[in-house]
Amino acid sequence: MPEEEERCPILSLLTDDLLSRIHSHLPDPTHQKSFRLVCRAFHRVDSLSRTHLRPLRPHCLPTLIARSPSLQFLDLSVCPRLDDSLAAAIAAAISAHRRRLKVLGLSRATGLTRVGVEALVSACEP
């Protein structure tokens, strides 16, 4: 029996659907962030229901995009070193996983040129 189930056997009885409903009723964003730290199942449910993403390290984005099927808002304003090659990798991940972003924040992305912005925009279009 895995160590996680030994500590809290009731968690193994909860389905992802039920955990997702519990997660959606957490009123405070800090509670939602703490939710994913409880166990792997909670982390998985949090990733599946995450709609907003504001990464500190842009090189992790392709993986984060793949793990966030509900992603709608991507804020890259804290990634000033974002460049065209990374923008192309992000755009490829968005397209490959069929994510449709509603909002893409690029306010401090000073390393992007027209080519990088076009790649991101083309990946976000329906």
Write out the chain's pLDDT in tens, 126 residues: 455 445 556 666 766 666 667 666 667 777 666 666 666 767 677 777 777 888 888 788 888 888 888 888 889 888 878 889 988 988 888 888 777 788 888 888 888 899 999 998 888 766
pLDDT at site 111: 84
- The CA-based diameter of the chain, rounded to the nearest angstrom, is 54
Instruction: Give the C-alpha separation, 94 to 50, whole Å.
Output: 15
Does the predicted TM-score (pTM) go above 0.75? no
Instruction: Give the C-alpha separation, 80 to 76, whole Å.
Output: 8
